[in-house]
Every structure is written in structure tokens, then in C-alpha cells.
Amino acid sequence: MTPGVSAQITHLRASALDRIAAKYAADMRPRWGDNSVFWSKLLEAATGSDDDALSAVHLHYMQLLGSKFDLSYG
């Protein structure tokens, strides 16, 4: 999501978000929807009692986010 879109979303009410999601549901997809490892770890962290699990999922997220950029020089 671009920063501009994110800024616009912060000003919307929950009812507006629900309306938009319902109208454009076919176009909305979760990021990394085909990455079952990420989603499995997120679900386990959200439902489990391991305090470090969410930190591990956050690190995994940051790695996935960083991998979309070519950080090589040269």
C-alpha cells in the first residue's frame, strides 16, 4: 500500500471501510496470499501464548517486505 493510500484510509470510518471492502472484494487480496508459511505463523502467533511468536512473525514480515526491493549495489 502506498503512503498516500494509507493516509487516506486513516481518515475513513469503519463503516466506509466495510462498504469499500464489500464493493471491491474481488479486487482485494492479502499481501503474500500464496505464502502459507507466513500466514500459518501469523495465525499461530495470534492464537497462541508464546510472546516471542509475534516478534518472529514481524521479523518474517520485514524480510518479505525487504525482499521486494533490489538492495544490491553495482
Q: What is the pLDDT of residue 70?
A: 52
pLDDT in tens, 5-45: 888 999 999 999 999 989 998 888 888 888 888 889 999 99
**Three-class secondary structure assignment of the chain:** CCHHHHHHHCCCCHHHHHHHHHHCHHHCCCCCCCCHHHHHHHHHHHHCCCHHHHHHHHHHHHHHHHHCCCCCCC
pLDDT in tens, 56-66: 998 988 888 88
The structure's pTM equals 0.53
> Could you list the residue range(s) of the whole structural domain that residue 23 is in?
1-30
Same domain, 23 and 55: no
Same domain, 41 and 67: yes
Same domain, 26 and 36: no
Same domain, 41 and 8: no
Average pLDDT score over residue span 42-58: 89
Domain count, the chain: 2
